[in-house]
Amino acid sequence: MASLLENIRRANRPPFHAMSPQDARRSYDAAAEILELPRAALARVERLRLPVADGTPLPARLYANSHDTLPALLYLHGGGFTIGSLETHDSLCRQIALRSGAAVIALDYRLAPEHRFPIAVDDAWAAMRWLGEHGAMLGLDPARLAV
């Protein structure tokens, strides 16, 4: 961890809050690629599209290390609702699924500032409701959902 923090310091990049959202996203994406984290092999990695309140189908990804009925975690990637994506958090979601025994459903919620508050929160709430109502179709236990 110390070497990672030193590499970040040496890169001498401006902090995300000092960049435009587009530049911050590019910088964050590039940093995620540089880390080259291992991608755990899982029994299931499936692309999904989850409908949200206004009818927009949002990309999501299901990670599970079993085909059994599993508890589920709705994962909302980091980035302050402005940066981050399914790709930047793919390795982490795989590790959570592998180590927890739960299925992980990562939602690619809509980002600010293009989508103003509370759209990202509404996206998350709609995805959670959808998983509660339809998660069994994906092999999830709708009685055991977490965010």
Residues 9 and 72 in one domain: no
Rounded mean pLDDT for each run of 10 residues along the chain, 147 residues in total:
68 80 85 76 97 93 98 95 93 96 98 95 96 96 96
Residues 102 and 129 in one domain: yes
- For residue 10, the surrounding DSSP H or E stretch is helix 2-11
Residues 15 and 53 in one domain: no
Residues 76 and 132 in one domain: yes
Residues 24 and 48 in one domain: no
Residues 50 and 87 in one domain: yes
Name the domain count of the chain. Answer: 2
Sheet of 44-51, strand order:
44-51, 57-64, 103-107, 70-76, 140-146
Structure tokens that stand for 9 in this block: 């310091």
Residues 21 and 51 in one domain: no
Which structural domain range is residue 12 located in? Answer: 2-35
Q: What is the CATH number of the domain that holds 73?
A: 3.40.50.1820
Residues 14 and 52 in one domain: no
pLDDT at residue 5, rounded to an integer = 66
Rounded CA gap, 119 and 73, in Å?
20
Residue in the structure block whose two tokens are 């599209």? 49
